[in-house]
Structure 1
Amino acid sequence: MTNYAIEVNNLKKEFEIKKKNGFLRGNKEKEIFVAVDNISFNVAKGEIFGFLGPNGAGKTTTIKMISTLLRPTSGTAIINGINCVEKPMEVLKNLGTVLAGERSIYWKLTGRENLEYFAAMNGIRGKKAHEKINYLLKRFNLNKRADETVEKYSTGMKQRVALAKALISDPEILILDEPTSGLDPQSARNLRELILEIKEEGRTILLTTHYMEEADQLSDRIAIIDHGKIIAMDTPYNLKKGLNKTNIIELELKDWNNYTREKIKEIPSVRNIRSEFNETTQRWEAKIHVANGTDTINDLISNIISSDNKIINFSVEEPTLEDVFIDLTGKSLRE
């Protein structure tokens, strides 16, 4: 018996895109888009496994293949020893899912009616259903408004109903696709706390997100995916530790221009430069990755000053998962 709740081996998904041929009017030729490109990973039972990457990286496509909603072009996904393609209905008995960007609950029904409907869909009826629904409504702080229609709920409450729905059949594995997307900071914090509580029950959770702090806070291990490929996989601590020879220097500057950038790039140990304008402070902020940063600081200050710029604040920071992603790809997660 395997200790893995989820086993993904060389999973690939191609989509056929039709495009107009410029030579013949109305004629179309086919183009293949590879959304997920031969990825492999395992998720241990009882683990929160974070799937981290920008929008369009292949996270949701992978989730849909594991959830039996999409058939892979090649490769396999195994849930509790059950092949997703060969026995999809058996797989679904092991899964609870909350998918991003899709209405997984009915807005014209009340919170209670939604749970009653999904309980019946899972063969849970009578006293057992009544007790289960009341327990979930109370647990997710929905009981006071359980008999109002979902369309009147806040985004955070709708997500809590969706999460309660995912747990109605008491699944061993929970798949959460961007669960805090669109939530205000307090609602997102509350939902993360619920996710950690659910893990403590011994459930396995596969979590996709593009929020670095969320992946760092919740995940036992993380796979970073970009352009359909997994480019790194480890614990959050080890991923950040891998940058221990790289210093992250954060600067607050009076100005930012190409001349300043070029002067910084002249320093051999500089690896990446990111800059943005902070509307609140009305100042430029730059984050610079440098090898052996303590030896580079003097050169960095000197070169910035020589570009007729002024340093307002200066600090050396610990690496974050965002820094790991930038180091691996040369770009920010949200680009």
Structure 2
Amino acid sequence: MANDNQNPQNPQMPGMPGMQGMQGMNPMMMQMMQMMGQMAGGMGMAPQFDPAAAPFQGEVSKDEDPGLEAELIRPATFDDLIRKQEALPTGTVLDYLCLSEDSKTSLGGLPKGCTMALVGPPGKGKTRTTLGTLARVAQSGTKVAFVVAEEGFHDKAGSGRDDLGSRMTKIGMKATGLGEDEFREQVLENMWVIESQYHRGQTWDDFIAKYRYLVEKAGIGFVVIDSLNMLDPSRSKTADHLSTLKTYNHEQGVTCLCVGQIKDTGAPVGGEAMVHTADAVFLIEEMGLTSKDQAAEWGGKYRERIDIIRAVKSVTTPTFPHPIRIEQDEIGELGVSDAQPADKAVLPLP
């Protein structure tokens, strides 16, 4: 009798999961063989394979493709390994919240190249402070961008409303001391505006496309976003969006200040995740003067509530260790109050 092992119509079944030559087999028999192979694997007759381990199997590629090598960072090769944090002056209380490396003076501005959050209750001067800052930075020759997510920038219909563009011009002229013609030439020529209101159908992806185009084509160095929360009306991805934005800004060398909102609890919208993600966080709060001694210390009345600002964090600099009492000036920008306690006085500018 002929050996079945030599009959192509009756193949062997070595290690059933790896059967060969089943082309001529009865379909029902073939299905049974496949089921037996699967059962054999489950009973330990064939080793189980963890798919998660697949990327770590085999040898590292030995080809000369520099792709993977190019993605690795070798700090030992850097010529400029140690750097000093530079400042972007704002002319506002924000210049005092971060400190020099030795903590002996204020930094004198926002930490340059960082993506930061300025958060607080409505009506406390956040937007007006950032508008004055935009004007001063643009006047210095840096190209700036203003991302508007809460209202229209220019009232094309001429309804009589004092629109955001008009308010920005008036605040900017006061902040820089320029007349209208000089302001147009020295400030507005260095300024771009992105409207990104979600109620107009603008998505996060739409915003990113406009933002990248503007930064890379115009060479933007400083950006104010008012506000980051409104770019995500669901409020569920604020921290994720900030992380994406921060990574891109670091790659492009952009300094970015995001205006943010707070919850009824006093915590920033985006929570701890947002605070963790930002390079620096500045929080405006109301502080109750709950004793007569505290009222005397802060130059207020017993049970009065005063506005303060504090640096919650900064990853590149030391921060001022005390709250700073703030007041709005004639154009609504935030400055250090004359009632700031002497033992908590802000440090001098560099």
TM tier relative to shorter chain: 0.3 to 0.5
Q: TM-score, normalised on structure 2?
A: 0.35
Bigger share in strand: 1
Larger radius of gyration: 2
Q: TM-score, normalised on structure 1?
A: 0.37
